[in-house]
């Protein structure tokens, strides 16, 4: 595979990280691999992505066991260093129909929040906002299930010597 253009290197690496983590590959080994195949990017940013993806992989099934009427604990939410508009973000699997006789389709939507929300509150927010989102006009929402929760943490700044 030839080297990718600069703006595609990071997304390509992030997409390959869950598989590398599952195989037990170290961060350094994976960084060497992507530098040879698709092209690398900043080591500091790479390590931040590796930590975020690792946290998501470690907690990917924890959120589905949170009761609908309880606030999720911080152990069930993945700490990420992504740039998000709010401190918390919830990933929701939405099932919808484009017409009454059409089959059910699925899509993921994100709900940002400034506080941790219960799964029932997140699902209610999706139903409330669905008709307001212009890109989903004409689609009827059947159900919404919270899949994951993310908590934004500040990037760790390297100490100056």
pLDDT interval class at 155 (50, 70, 90): low
Residues 64-78: pLDDT tens digits? 889 999 999 988 898
End-to-end CA distance of the chain: 39
Q: What mean pLDDT comes out for the span 78-93?
A: 91
Residues 7-30: pLDDT tens digits? 888 899 999 999 999 999 999 999
Query: What pLDDT is attached to residue 156?
Result: 56
136 has pLDDT over 90: no
Token pair 């929760």 is found at 149
87 conformational bin, left if phi > 0, alpha if psi -120 to 50, beta if neither: alpha
Residue 131 makes CB contacts below 8 A (sequence gap 6+) with 137
CA distance 112 to 12: 25
Query: What pLDDT is attached to residue 145?
Result: 94
CA distance 59 to 71: 16
Q: Where are the domains of the chain?
A: 6-58, 63-152
Query: What pLDDT is attached to residue 118?
Result: 96
At residue 27, the 3 state secondary structure works out as helix
Query: What pLDDT is attached to residue 161?
Result: 44
State percent of the chain over pLDDT 90: 58
Query: What pLDDT is attached to residue 4?
Result: 75
CA distance 161 to 141: 55
Instruction: Give the pTM.
Output: 0.76
């Amino acid at each position: 595979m030839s080297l990718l253009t600069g703006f595609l290197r990071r997304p390509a690496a992030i997409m390959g990280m869950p598989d590398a983590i599952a195989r037990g590959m170290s961060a350094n080994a994976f960084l060497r691999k992507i530098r040879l195949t698709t092209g690398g990017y900043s080591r500091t940013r790479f390590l931040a992505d590796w930590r975020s993806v690792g946290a998501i992989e470690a907690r990917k099934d924890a959120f589905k066991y949170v009761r609908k009427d309880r606030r999720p604990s911080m152990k069930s939410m993945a700490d990420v260093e992504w740039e998000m508009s709010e401190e918390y973000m919830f990933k929701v699997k939405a099932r919808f129909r484009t017409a009454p006789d059409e089959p059910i389709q699925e899509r993921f939507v994100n709900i940002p929040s400034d506080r941790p929300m219960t799964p029932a509150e997140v699902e209610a927010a999706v139903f409330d906002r669905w008709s307001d989102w212009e890109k989903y006009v004409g689609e009827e929402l059947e159900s919404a299930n919270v899949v994951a929760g993310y908590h934004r943490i500040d990037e760790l700044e390297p100490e100056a010597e």
